[in-house]
Amino acid sequence: MKFELVFIPYPGIGHLRSAVEMAKLLVKRDRHLSITVLLLPSLPGGEVVSSAYVASLSAACTNRLRYEIISGENTEPTRLDIHIENQKPKVRLAVSKLVDDYSNLPEPPRLAGFVVDLFCTLMMDVANEFRVPSYLFYTSSAGLLGLGFHVQTLYDENRYGVSENDYEDSEEVLHVPSLTRPYPVKCLPHGLASKDWLPILVNQAKRYREMKGILVNTTAEVEPYTLRVLNGGDTPPAYPVGPLLDLTSKEDNKGSDILEWLDQQPPRSVVFLCFGSMGGFSEKQAREIAVALERTGHRFLWSLRRASPPGEFTNLEEVLPEGFFDRTKLIGKVIGWAPQVAVLAKPAVGGFVTHCGWNSTLESLWFGVPTVAWPLYAEQKFNAFEMVDELGLAVEIRKYWRNDRSVELVTAEEIERAIKCLMKQDSYVRKRVKEVSEKCHAALMDGGSSQTALKHFIQKVFENIS
């Protein structure tokens, strides 16, 4: 008997890449399984997935792993949940066609379930119409998943009183069962305090509880305590199947001159600063970073982008301190876009100043590069807390961060202190990251924890077919 899963990732590049890697692993693991990945249109006004990446997926279709583009018209910006709701008729039609096409085959695969992104839980309704189970693909950490479940419980019991106006000044803490340390309310992602976003996120967590299982992009070795608590409670089983990384992106070949420069530097001598596709800074903040880099004396590779309007600075000579490029030309480079994976893979890179996106966090652990946590938006304040305080795998610049997008200025003194701590060759954090990196590699080998979790998930999918 053959079985088919329908994947519905959220159309942001970080979510889509890891979902694709998940699908590849599943079909590689079991020859009875095939997968169709439905590529939803981007949220109007939001991040647009590279057309080249989508084209590469379409060209890579096989008999057991297919990608189908769900077309969408450009409309006015709207809420995320409304956007996903609007895609349900298209998804219903695409799955109906898929089932009809399979009915004509001599040995048609049986529809075994939907695997939906953490932002696409509304697609459970479509899965229910086809009378198949739903599974969650959680692209963030197990720690954030546990926090979401805890906040939802408090909210439903009228015990969650976090206000959008004062949470960043709060001295209160949450005692989250899946964390070993009290979690400061001021470290909450903005969405869990927002009057607009909180109801959406709470409803999502409620839908998570209806899933038959949760695939999490992490490993048992990175978040052991959190996963034990999650799998010992009343929520669906969590399968740590990561790290799921796209390490072969053709886009990384664009930065050959950068990579050649790194090949000429001593091992672990370069600090790499990169803040994701949506991470940028004001001119004033960029100058503070430049002053800090110059004071440290360390070699550096700095991917610098503008916060508003998002994109590249047109004239870096006018933005950065006078004479900065002349004084640092032998030890540093300031660039726009950076081939992040390829850079982190270079032996010359000894530290990474990052926005703490979960994919970037996993990439740094994979390559054994310690990080400085500089969260900018979304769930990144939680990731910074987890990496620094909960797991001891990163260096902090400051204890608490105010506002999404770091509106508050981070001083050169703070940045300099963090980078100097980061680049110590015998530091506790560097040793911890090296140990966890080795465990991440082992997790994906035959018999490793992530491979075992993947095997258990596939078994559960087959068992759940009625």
pLDDT in tens, 408-417: 899 999 999 9
Q: Is 266 a domain residue?
A: yes
Residue 424 sits in the same domain as residue 458 = no
Q: Is 41 a domain residue?
A: yes
Residue 410 sits in the same domain as residue 333 = yes
Residue 94 sits in the same domain as residue 223 = yes
- Least confidently predicted of 249-253, 261-265, 458-462: 249-253
Q: Is 389 a domain residue?
A: yes
Residue 19 sits in the same domain as residue 124 = yes
pLDDT in tens, 391-443: 999 999 998 988 766 578 999 999 999 999 999 999 999 999 999 999 999 99
Per-residue confidence (pLDDT) for residue 122, from 0 to 100: 97
Q: Is 149 a domain residue?
A: no
Overall average pLDDT of the 55-78 stretch: 86
Tell which residue, 210, 333, 194, has the closest CA to residue 273: 333
What percentage of residues in the chain have a pLDDT greater than 70?
97
Residue 334 sits in the same domain as residue 423 = yes
User: Which amino acid would we find at residue 418?
Assistant: A
What percentage of residues in the chain have a pLDDT greater than 90?
83
Per-residue confidence (pLDDT) for residue 277, from 0 to 100: 81
Residue 270 sits in the same domain as residue 323 = yes
The CATH number of the domain where 348 resides is what?
Answer: 3.40.50.2000
Whether 253 has a pLDDT exceeding 70, the answer reads: no
Domain residues for 319? 250-440
Q: How many structural domains are present in the chain?
A: 2
Whether 214 has a pLDDT exceeding 50, the answer reads: yes
Per-residue confidence (pLDDT) for residue 252, from 0 to 100: 47
For the whole prediction, is pTM greater than 0.85? yes
Residue 81 sits in the same domain as residue 110 = yes
Whether 250 has a pLDDT exceeding 60, the answer reads: no
Whether 369 has a pLDDT exceeding 70, the answer reads: yes
Residue 238 sits in the same domain as residue 328 = no
